[in-house]
Amino acid sequence: DGGITQSPKYLFRKEGQNVTLSCEQNLNHDAMYWYRQDPGQGLRLIYYSQIVNDFQKGDIAEGYSVSREKKESFPLTVTSAQKNPTAFYLCASSGRQEQFFGPGTRLTVL
Amino acid sequence: AQSVTQLDSQVPVFEEAPVELRCNYSSSVSVYLFWYVQYPNQGLQLLLKYLSGSTLVKGINGFEAEFNKSQTSFHLRKPSVHISDTAEYFCAVSHDRGSTLGRLYFGRGTQLTVWP
């Protein structure tokens, strides 16, 4: 089955630690995205990549970093500089007519 | 900048009643419009999309939406809702569609709660 996988589903970290969220797709899409979701805020774009080895900041990139070394993979690192990292994180990829979403990772920073 | 406004943050409705979830967007260029549904602790699933052609778009689970360019709206409707329709609904817009659909701009979401 084609789709997007995110792991883990739930993640707990101590304040001050960096953490990396995984996103893999087998849809052969060039474009991939990371969104952050908070209650009542909708989805806000963190970073996106339209092609391997290239990525752009979205609307709330501060405190986050990404890499795009392979077409199928777009990991997101939440650094200790992110002031309020507890949230639900969604990865997506785009074909020509639709954006597909992964199941999400819920990050809780204690 | 693009923006999407979902006019109602919460919509309560009784089972088998009709429902309309409202969405307005701001854009001076061609737009491509989407409605997604999200169940608790899950990703987003596409309900329907408008890319071109007929302004009345039919989607999954009996939902439909109408693109109104003059009013810059894309309201979602269902004539008779079920308990299982309880979820959060997001309206989104993109204005870039070359070989790949461009970034989406999302509204803040509407929580639809269906009561028995």
Residue range A28-75, pLDDT digits in tens: 999 999 999 998 888 999 999 999 999 999 999 999 999 999 999 999
Contacts with B102 from chain A: Cβ below 8 Å: 94
Whether pLDDT at A101 is above 90: yes
Percent of chain B scored above 70 by pLDDT? 97
When pLDDT is cut at 50, 70 and 90, the band that residue A104 belongs to is very high
More confident residue, A6 or B102: A6
Residue B88 CB neighbour total at 10 angstroms: 22
Please give the residue that has the higher pLDDT: either A2 or A85: A85
Chain B nearest C-alpha distance from A80 (Å):
25
pLDDT band at A97 (very low <50, low <70, confident <90, very high): confident
Percent of the residues in chain A that have a pLDDT greater than 90, as a whole number: 82
pLDDT of residue B52: 87
The band of B28, judged by pLDDT with boundaries at 50, 70 and 90, is: low
Q: What is the pLDDT of residue A1?
A: 62
| pLDDT, tens digit, 9 for 90 and up, residues B44-85 | 999 999 988 899 999 999 999 999 999 999 999 999 999 999
Q: What is the pLDDT of residue B1?
A: 62
SS (H, E, C) chain A: CCCEEEECCEEEECCCCCEEEEEEECCCCCEEEEEEEECCCEEEEEEEEEECCEEEECCCCCCEEECCCECCECCEEECCCCCCCCEEEEEEEECCCCEEECCCEEEEEC
Q: Which of B103, B105, B110 should we substitute to test contact with A (largest number of A Cβ atoms within 10 Å)? A: B103
- Average pLDDT score over residue span B93-100: 79
Residue of A nearest to B51 (CA): A97
Which residues does chain A have within 8 Å of residue B42's beta carbon, measured at their own beta carbons?
103-104
The answer to whether the CB of A46 falls within 8 A of the CB of A93 is: no
Comparing B19 with A80, the larger pLDDT belongs to B19
